[in-house]
Structure formats: C-alpha cells, structure tokens
Amino acid sequence: MGKKNIVFVGILASSDSLEKLKINYGYIAIEQGKITKTGSIKEFERLAESGTFSGYQIIKLSANQFIIPGFVDCHTHAPQFPNIGLGLDRPLLEWLAKYTFPLEKRYKDTEFAAKVYDQVVQRLLRNGTTTACYFGSLHVDGTLELVKSAIKHHQRALIGKVSMNKENDAGYYNNTKQELADVETFVKSVISYQNELVEPVVTPRFAVSCDKELMDGLSEIANKYNSKIQSHISENLSEIEYVLQTNPDCKSYGDVYNKSQILNNRCIMAHAVHLTDEELTLLSAKGVSVAHCPASNTRLKSGLCPVRRIIDSNITVGLGTDVAGGDNASILDAIRRTMDVSTCLEMQGRPKYSLNWREAFYLATLGGAQALNLGDRIGNFDVGKDFDALLVDVYAKGSQIDQFAGALEKTDDEHAVELLEKFIFLGDDRNIVQVYVKGNLVKDTL
C-alpha cells in the first residue's frame, strides 16, 4: 500500500459524457495519487527515452488487460448487508418493517457494527467500487465504525447516519431534539478525522420516517456544514400514497422535500421511479441528482424506473446497488440491470428508452461522480483528477470469460472495444485484478 509514481501503458477506457466513450492505446502517469499526464504510446516512448519516468513503476498491460475508472455506488445501505437475498418477496414498507428495521437496530452494538462494516468496505473495494455513498444506521457510534473502516481500507466514501423520528413497530426511531443533536455530533466527528476521502452526508431516511420539523432541522445542519444530503423519493406506489396522505398540504412527494428546503445541488435522491413531469422539473431546477437502483426496484417490485426520461429532464444520474433491497453489491450488476430494465421499458413501447452498455458504463463512473459532485475529482482520466481506477484482466484466472481466439480478424481498436464489452456483460470481481483509490493500491491479485 503506498503512493508510488506509476505509469500504465496499454488500453485505457473512460467516458467523457453519456454519448462519448474513449478507448485508446496509450499511457497514463500518476504522481502522488493524481493523474499528471496521458498520451499516446509514441509519446510514452519519447518521454521514457528522455528519462521523464525514471524512478516510476512502469506497468505494461498485456493484450487482454485495460484500465478503467473506479466504480461509483451512489446509494447503498451498509448495515443491511447481512440481509442480502432475504425477504425480497415483500413490498417496500412491509420489507422495511419486517426485515430491515429489526436488523438495523442491532447496530447499537458497535462491535457488531465494526465487524460487518469492515467486511462491507472490503467487499465493495474487491468489486471495484472505489467510491460509495452509504446510509448507515440510526446510531452515531455504530455509523462511525463505518467511517473508520472506509478510512482504514482507503475507500472514498460519503457516509450518513440515518435520521428517523416517526414511530414504527420495531421501535427504531429517535426523538427530534436528540436526533438533530446526534446528526450534528456525527457530522462534526467525521469532519474531525480530516480524511480527504471521507465526508459526512445528512440522511433523512425518507418522508415516511421523518416529519417536517426533523427535515427542516436536517436541512439547516446540511447548510451549516455545506454537507451533502441524501434520501429516498417515489420508490413505491403505496409509499407515495402514504406520504401524500400524511402531508395533505403538499402537492407531490417532491413538494414534501422542497417545503423543507432539502432539494439543492448537494442532494442525492435514490429511486425516483414514479416521478411526475412536474417533480422532474422541480428536481432538475434545484440541481438534485438521482441514484438509479434497478436491482431493488425489481426485487421489491417497486417499478421500472424510466432512467432515460430522468436523464432527458437534465438531471444527473448515477447508479446505486441499494443493498439489501438490491440483491447484489457489485456495480457491474447495476450496469447490467440498468440495461435490462431500460430495455424492458423500450419493449413495452417507450421508444429509445433503452440504455446501451456504453451509456450504462458512463453512469457507473463519470455519471456517478457527477451525481455526488465529485466530477472534478474522479470519474475519468482527465489530467489533474485523482487516480481511482481498476486494472481489468479479461482472461484472469478463474474468470467466467472464455478465451476466444477471435472468429473474425480485428483491428487493435476493435479488439480494445470488445474486451471492455465482454467485461461489462460477463466480468466479475475475479477480472478486477488491481484497484486504486487516489493512487493507493487497495486490491492486488495481478
């Protein structure tokens, strides 16, 4: 583990935008965790000859390897990992009451929290998630264990202590005054670590669990510390009905959040499956980002989220695994489900709603970075950005991807595109042989 100066030479793939995937043979130089130069193989050879890279570790990729930006998970629940795969035959509100709240209550026990969170962080890094935006539990100390694990394993992380003040059967909520005090304690504690990779996020669970007084207070705290704010919106029809019933003065789900002033350009909302045109216009005008969570939207039968419609409304979108509503912690899975759900919508008669693999790859990298306001720091290989990246070996040992001699003759450029395409559709953590976060090597099975 360390921040050496490194040069990779070989295939580099990253997105400039939703429409533009860049794949080229070249080099990328990293100093002190930052990208300082990129260019062609010819330029590399010239610079290498003139001694520019003396003292650098030079990694020449094989013909079946490439470098891509690290994956960004814009929405996941760290305390729910022990429940992955359980109870997914129930709709959202029942699933929360029966499975989720009772499990999350256990994180009062900081020892239990530390044990689970250390595994969660390592599991995500192993799967190439270099940045994660996490919901913790209601507990300050338990959620600080997640902060410590992210710091220990060098993951870039946005972490929120979940806020809830409405009574529920599990007895999993806090009184308003105590909750606001706890959130401020949590935010201050995270800031006091002065870790460049980890930041606090104010986290009202959703309008079902928080009343207006709490959300107003949370909005003030987020503004005071200029922190991000995350929640859930319009995931499930019964949830929406309940929110509208309990907020009769609000004309929509989005309006409930807007009245508490939590919609702004530091705000990330998960799901957004059933938004009206008016709500899309509101979120876009306020600069809110959306975390698209296709796995849990399908598993909990919440709905097929029309991502293309959200993107076309000028809203920044990233991907979320949403464990344990989602049954898979890997962003590669989220990429595939994004393609599948959007394709289902198109097959049901919504022209042009499907997203192709290049677009889904953008959402998993630069799109996610932009959704978390980290687009100037990570997400692709622009000079000056931090080096958060994955070294992928398409034919790594044990890989699911069969080595194919190639039925057709391919140019080098066609070969490079096909390698990435194969990985997107068939790859898994075994193909991710190295993971870097800000130049720190955090996984190495090369």
Site of interaction with ligand GUN (CB under 6 A): 77, 92, 96, 100, 205-206, 232, 235, 296, 322, 325
Residue window 357-396: x/- pattern of binding to Fe ion, with contact defined by CB under 5 A:
----------------------------------------
How remote is the C-alpha of 250 from its chain's centroid? 30
Q: How far is the CB of 77 from Fe ion (least distance, A)?
A: 6
Which parts of 21-50 interact with Fe ion (CB under 5 A)?
A: none
Cβ at position 327, least distance to ligand GUN in Å: 11
Nearer to Fe ion, 18 or 170 (CB): 170
- In the shown chain, the binding pattern of residues 253 to 292 toward Fe ion, with x for contact by CB under 5 A and - for none, equals -----------------x----------------------
Strand-pair partners of 162: 203
**H/E stretch holding 302:** none
Beta bridge partners of 10: 26
* Binding mask of the shown chain, residues 330 to 349, with x at each position contacting Fe ion by CB under 5 A: --------------------
Q: Which of 278, 367, 395, 356 minimizes the C-alpha distance to 71?
A: 367
Q: Is 235 in the site for Fe ion (CB under 5 A)?
A: no
- Which residues are CB-neighbours of 371 under 8 A, at least 6 positions away? 72, 74, 268, 289, 290, 291, 316, 317, 318
Least Å distance, CB 218 to Fe ion, is: 17
Q: Residue 386 carries which DSSP code? A: B
* Token representation of residue 324: 């344990």
393 interacts with, out of ligand GUN, Fe ion, none, CB within 5 to 8 A per kind: none
Among Fe ion, ligand GUN, none, what binds residue 205 when CB lies within 5 to 8 Å by partner kind? ligand GUN
Q: What is the residue whose two structure tokens read 């996490």? A: 134
Structural tokens at position 85: 């795969």
Nearer to Fe ion, 15 or 163 (CB): 163
Dmax over Cα atoms in the chain, in whole Å?
A: 72
Q: How far is the CB of 394 from Fe ion (least distance, A)?
A: 32
Size of the site for Fe ion (CB under 5 A): 2
Structure-token match 């003065």, residue found: 249
CB 133, min distance to ligand GUN, A = 14
List beta partners, residue 198.
157
Q: Which residue is nearest to ligand GUN (CB)?
A: 325
- Residue 168 or 223 having the CB closest to ligand GUN: 168
At closest approach, how far in Å is the CB of 101 from ligand GUN? 9
Of 144 and 324, which has the nearer Cβ to Fe ion? 324
Closest CA to 119 of 154, 161, 149: 149
Calpha distance 303→318 (Å, rounded): 18
Concatenated DSSP letters of 102-129: HHHHGGGSHHHHHHHHHHHHHHHHHTTE
Which residue in the shown chain puts its C-beta closest to Fe ion? 322
- 3-state DSSP percent of the chain in helix, strand and coil, to 5: 40, 25, 35
Residue 19: φ, ψ to 5°: -85, -20
Q: Which of 322, 327, 359, 429 binds Fe ion (CB under 5 A)?
A: 322
Per DSSP, the three-state class of 80 is helix
The nearest distance, CB 80 to Fe ion, in angstroms, is 8
Closest CB 425 distance from Fe ion, rounded Å = 26
**Binding footprint of Fe ion on the chain (CB under 5 A):** 270, 322
